[in-house]
Structure 1
Amino acid sequence: MVRPVEVNNPQDGPPCPVCGTPNRPERQFCRRCAARLRPAASVAPLPWWRTIWPFRRRVRVGSGRWPARIVAVLVVLALVLAAFLLVPVARSLFEDTKDKLGSANQVTPANVTASAEAPGHPAAAATDGLTNVYWGAPAIGDSLICTFATPFRLVGVVVHTGVSTEPQEFNRGARPTLADLQITSSTGRVDTRTLTFADKPGPQTFRMGISDVLSVRLIIRAAAGPVGEQPIALGEIEFFKRT
C-alpha cells in the first residue's frame, strides 16, 4: 500500500530503492511505500567442521565434501582395525568359557620320543600310566616329544616328577624343577609355556587352553637332587582334551 506524502514535510536522505522517495538517514523503512531501505546483511557460510553436528545447519554447496569423505574413510579403517584386534580376543574368551563349562578326557599320544634317554628309562615310560617307572633324561636340556594322531583342544597337562611317589625315594633321585612346554598346532604355530614344578611327589596340574594341538615337546631347564649322578626322572605326563 502506498501512503500519501505530506508536501510540507520534506525530508533529505537517500531515496527509496522502490519508489524513489527521500527518507531520513536513520529510517529503516520507506515513509511512503514501507520498503526496506537497507538490505539485510548476508550471513557468511559456515565452515565444514561446523556442519558435522548438529546436522541441520545451512552450508554452502560442496562445503566439507572432501573432509567428510576423509573422516568416513578413517572411521571405516578404525572399525576394520578394531575387528581385526577384537575378534581373536572374543574367540579366546569364548573358547575359555567352553573349557570351563565342558568336561575333559585324557588323550594318549600316538608316538613318544626323546632327544636322549638313560638306559632302562625310555621315553615311553613317561606316558605308560605308571608312576613307579620313568623317563630318565641324562642332562638338563634334554626333551621329550609327544605327537598325536589328530588335532585336539589341549585344556590341561598333569605331570608327575621324580622316581617315585614315596617321599624318601623321591628325594634320593634327580627330578626336574623347571621345564618349557612347546606346543605345536596343525597350522605350525608354536606356543611356549614355562612350567615350574613343586619339588615334591604327586600330580601337578597346569591349565592350557590351546586349540588344534598336534605335538608337545617338554624341555628340561632345571633340576634338583643328584643331577649328573642319576638321570633326571619324569615319572608321568598326561594330556587332557575338551569333550
Structure 2
Amino acid sequence: ERDREPDAVLPQAPQARPDRRDRRTARTNVIRPGDLICGSCGQGNAPARKFCTRCGFELREAQVARTPWWRGLLRRRRGPRVVELGTGSGQQDEPAPAPGGRLAAFWNQVKVVLGITFCLSAMLYASYAPFRNVVNARAEEVRTSVSGFIKSQYSPVRPAKVTGPSAEGRGPGNLIDLNTSSYWSVPHPKESGGEPQKTLLVVEFDRPVSLDQLIVTAGAGEAFTQHGRPRQMFLTFANESRTRVDLRDTAKPQTFPLKAGLATKKVTIEFTDVYPSDQGKDVAVAELEFFSLLS
C-alpha cells in the first residue's frame, strides 16, 4: 500500500512563545571578604567554588570581595596563634607565648608592685609623723613651683584711669593703687519694690590691650563686714561683648578668666548684686587688677 502523503497545510500566523521564567533562587547570603562575586547574578560564593551556587555561572573570572579600608581602623586584627613545633626528641615542648603575652605579664607584675608600694606608703604616712612631714613639705614645694610658673605667664596691665561715683572720699582711684588697705565705696540703695540701682565704673587704658585675667579684692579691708560686698558684676568691653563674674563673700583676692577682653581700651563694670551689710547701704571694693597672657 502506497504511503499517503500529508495534506497540504496553509501558512498560519506564528504563535507567541511563552516568556522564559527566571528559575534562579533569590540571593540568600551576605557577601563576606574573600567571597567570589558571580558576574551574572551577584551571588557571593565560597572561594573554593568553581560555579555559582545560584545560577551556575562559571566563577573563573569572578571578582573577589575585599575588606573596606575603614574596618581595619575600627577593630584590631588578630592573627592565628603560632606555636613552634617540637624538636622531635619525644618530649613535649612548651608552647610559644601568644603575641603581646610577655608584655602583658610584665605590666601585671608592675601593677602588683606599684599597688603594694602605694599601700605600704599610705600606712607609713598615716602612722609615722616624720615621713608624713617630709611628704607634705615636698608636696608644698611642688605646688608652689607650679603656682609660680602659672603666675609667671601673666603680665599686669595698669589702667590709665578709673571713673565712677564715690562716697565719703573713697574715690575709684583706690581700686588701682595696689593697696588693699584703701578701698572704693559707693551707695547702693534699693528702689522701692525693685532691683538695686546700677553702679557703673569705667576703666580706661592708654592703648588697646588684651585682657585675660582679673583679680578682685572685695570689701573694705579690715572693715570688711561694715560695708556691702559685690556678689555679681558684668564687664562690658569695647567690642560690646560681656562677661559675667560671680564673686564669693570673702576678703581674699579672687581670680577670674577674661575670654572676651581682646584689643580693648575701655571696660565698663556694672555691679548688679551685693552681699548686704547691716551697718551700711553701700558696696566696697579694695582692688581691681588686670592681667594679660604673655605670648
Q: TM-score range by the shorter chain?
A: 0.5 to 0.7
Shift, 1:180, TM fit: 0.8
Structure showing greater relative contact order (alpha-carbon pairs closer than 8 Å, 6 or more residues apart): 1
Match of 2:178 among 83, 108, 129: 129
d(CA) in 1 for partners of 2:279 and 2:206? Answer: 35
Match of 1:213 among 264, 272, 295: 264
Match of 2:202 among 139, 142, 145: 145
SS at match of 1:207: strand
> Are residue 203 (structure 1) and residue 257 (structure 2) matched?
no
How many residues are matched?
Answer: 145
Residues 145, 218 of structure 1: 8 Å contact kept: yes
Residues 230, 274 of structure 2: 8 Å contact kept: yes
Label 1:122 to 1:197 Cα distance change in 2 as closer, same or farther (>3 A): same
The answer for unaligned runs of 5 or more in structure 2 is: 1-16, 18-149, 189-196
Shift, 1:103, TM fit: 1.9
Shift, 1:172, TM fit: 2.5
SS at match of 2:241: strand
Specify the code of the residue in structure 2 equivalent to 1:161: A
d(CA) in 2 for partners of 1:151 and 1:236? Answer: 22
The answer for unaligned runs of 5 or more in structure 1 is: 1-25, 27-99
Residues 172, 225 of structure 1: 8 Å contact kept: no
Q: TM-score, normalised by structure 2?
A: 0.44
Q: Which residue of the partner structure matches residue 95 of structure 2? A: none
Label 1:103 to 1:170 Cα distance change in 2 as closer, same or farther (>3 A): same
Q: TM-score, normalised by structure 1?
A: 0.53
Structure (1/2) with the larger strand percentage: 1
For the aligned residue pairs, the C-alpha RMSD in angstroms reads: 2.8
d(CA) in 2 for partners of 1:223 and 1:118? Answer: 16
Specify the code of the residue in structure 2 equivalent to 1:156: Q
Shift, 1:152, TM fit: 1.5
- Sequence identity percentage: 25
d(CA) in 1 for partners of 2:278 and 2:155? Answer: 34
d(CA) in 2 for partners of 1:141 and 1:227? Answer: 20
Q: Which residue of the partner structure matches residue 110 of structure 1? A: 160
Q: Which residue of the partner structure matches residue 194 of structure 1? A: 244
> Following TM superposition, where does structure 1 have runs of at least 4 consecutive aligned residues deviating by more than 3 angstroms?
none
Shift, 1:231, TM fit: 2.6
d(CA) in 1 for partners of 2:279 and 2:163? Answer: 21
